[in-house]
Amino acid sequence: MQGVDRIFFGGPIVTMDAAVPRAEAVAVTDGRIVAVGSRAEIEALASADTVRTDLKGNTLLPGFVEAHSHPLMSAMAWGDPVVDVRAVHVPTYEAVLEKMRRRIAKATPGEVIWFLGLDPQLHAGMKEPSREDLDALAPNHAIVVQTINFHGVFINTKALEAFGIDADYTPPLGGKFVRAADGLPWKFAETAAWQLCNRFYEMCGDERKIRSFNEWVLKFVKAGYTTTSEIMIEPGASRMLQSAIKARRNPLRVVGYEGKHLGGEVSVPLNFGDDDFRVIGTKLHGDGSVLLGNVWTTHPYLNNEMTLKGMGLPENSTGHPNLTPEKLYDLVSKYVREGWQMSVHAHGDRTIDMVLDAYEKVIAEVPKISGPLRIEHCGTMREDQIDRAIRLNVACSYFLPYIYHWGEALRDFLLGEEAAARFVPAGSAIRKGMRASFHCDSPMTWPDALVCLHVAVNRRTLKGAVIGPEQCVTMDQALRAITIDAAYQLQMEDKIGSIAAGKLADFVVLGQDPLACDPERILQVPIIRTIIGGDDTDDFVQAQGG
């Protein structure tokens, strides 16, 4: 009899399979799990060629799954030569200017220098850099400064020249811009900002795309992820992404959703690709960023220096959606009818109302829906909306690291204590029975499954505050949201997300059993390695110098 290829044993095995939550050993053949059981049961399947992997007390889990992320976009946005000025490294606005001066001092003639990470909430003393400020910093070089929420871009006079922008500039659909005192464009927002980003990425060349993409994949692998998503692929970029993924042995599966806010046909056929990379859905933006104020809410923002001056909001601002209810319905209806799974970004509760309205209407009209229909981030989602989403079988992906990084800002400056306490209300949703998922939304925050777990079970911020403890869930519930329930949202529940016979052998090895460790210490759990299709991803990690 042919024996199994590989056996894992020698440590806790947390399967995330409700039928058999714990096992002593797992057998793998041809990249798939063939048996899960006791050490004796699994040993009986071995032959002389079987490779045995002793976990040596480490814990085996299904590889982490992130339902909402952007590895390619992250690579474009953050990869070298972009200069990272995030507050986590560069704490004050003055320090940002100093870092910009250091970089500009090393500039080569003709280069465009792009700075990313300016943060109105976290950079103490921040003000919008005026054209005069930027020209004083770099009279001879093109410089661009982009905000951490990606929605705003400021440029100097030399950058105007580099991008060929003059007084006749017109922004793309959905884009906004502001002129400086000289009458020329200075600040770009929304699609106008993203258009400049894409032009810069093209200037950086194709080799940089692949190199940065692999660097970014490494971050996911080291965070324990074996599957993630690319949830706003630029139309036309799917084939490039596929070739980047297929160019080496793949250490990270990616599920694709094409960005369709401009409408039009999806650039690849339905379910294009395979288990390494498959395009299954479409993505729309119902509103914008809570940190920018362009989300549509019932309760107004607080009125203070940060909201009125730092963010430039009107008093008692309740924001706005990105598109009308009619336009949203038209787009949802078109792609759902074509068989695509729909995913809509919605932070504000009024936007969520609009999305649920569109979904309810489409569900009534279309007999077979590729589901679950999804809502992304869900910052200020109300309790009645959770009930309605569950009734409609709509699944939410919650952006929990928001609490970790910006919890104090939400509570003290943006939304107030009550709204902050139930911001990203995953606890309510999960207790009511929703199969929710958690995400880091890279490039907004770095891929980090442990931060998702930490916020889910502790609701504790980076600085130590506890915000909305009533939204805490158990560690088991939290783990479901980054394994089996995230797999459900990505329509891969039959293939990944738990350790069960027949599924792909995708695992993460942790230095501690998360179900046995002190929940307050979850961030300290070592991530030892990941395994994809039965093989360690160490070769990729080493090739990337990680």
Question: 102-121 mask for other proteins (x: CB under 8 A)?
Answer: xx--x---------------
Which stretches of 180-334 are assigned E, i.e. beta strand? 185-190, 225-233, 253-259, 272-273, 277-285
38 near other proteins, rule: CB under 8 A: no
Rank residues 103 and 283 by Cβ distance to other proteins and give the closer one.
103
Q: Which position has the token pair 């038209």?
A: 330
Residues from 65 through 94 that contact other proteins (CB under 8 A): 83, 94
User: Would you say 95 or 465 has its CB closer to other proteins?
Assistant: 95
Residue 117 or 425: the one with the smaller Cβ distance to other proteins is 117
- Considering only residues 38, 198, 243, 524, which one is a binding residue for other proteins as defined by CB under 8 A? 524
Contact between residue 36 and residue 500 where contact means Cβ atoms under 8 Å apart: yes
User: Nearer to other proteins by C-beta: 66 or 448?
Assistant: 448
Minimum Å gap between C-beta 129 and other proteins is: 17
Length of the chain in terms of residues written = 546
Size of the residue set binding other proteins (CB under 8 A): 12
Residue with smaller CB distance to other proteins, 134 or 479: 134
Q: If we measure between CA atoms, which residue out of 163, 171, 96 comes closest to residue 134?
A: 96
Site membership for other proteins, residue 520 (CB under 8 A): no
Q: DSSP state, 164? A: T
The reply to whether 101 sits near other proteins by the rule CB under 8 A is yes
Burial class, 419, CB count within 10 angstroms (exposed 0-12 / middle 13-18 / buried 19+): buried
Closest to other proteins by CB, 264 vs 545, is: 545
Distances (CA, A) of 540 to 37, 200, 219, 442, 530: 30, 28, 11, 20, 11
Least distance (Å) from other proteins to the CB of residue 412?
25
- Which residue, 475 or 523, has its beta carbon nearer to other proteins? 523
Nearest approach in angstroms of CB 95 to other proteins is: 6
Least separation in angstroms between residue 22's CB and other proteins is: 25
Q: Which stretch binds other proteins (CB under 8 A): 7-15, 64-72, 98-106, 174-182?
A: 98-106
* CB atoms near residue 319 (< 10 Å): 22
Which part of the chain contacts other proteins (CB under 8 A), choosing from 12-20, 100-108, 213-221, 480-488? 100-108
Phi, psi for 483 (deg, rounded to 5): -135, -95
**Interaction with other proteins in 443-472: which residues (CB under 8 A)?**
none
Cα pseudo-dihedral 505, 511, 516, 520, rounded to 10: -120
User: By C-beta, is 368 or 463 nearer to other proteins?
Assistant: 463
Distance from C-alpha of 530 to C-alpha of 236, rounded to nearest angstrom: 31
Angle between helices 71-78 and 191-204 (to 10 degrees): 70
Question: Which member of 98, 265, 338, 418 binds other proteins (CB under 8 A)?
Answer: 98
Closest by CA position to 18, among listed 533, 532, 513, 499: 499
Applying CB under 8 A, which residues contact other proteins?
83, 94-95, 98-99, 101-103, 106, 524, 545-546
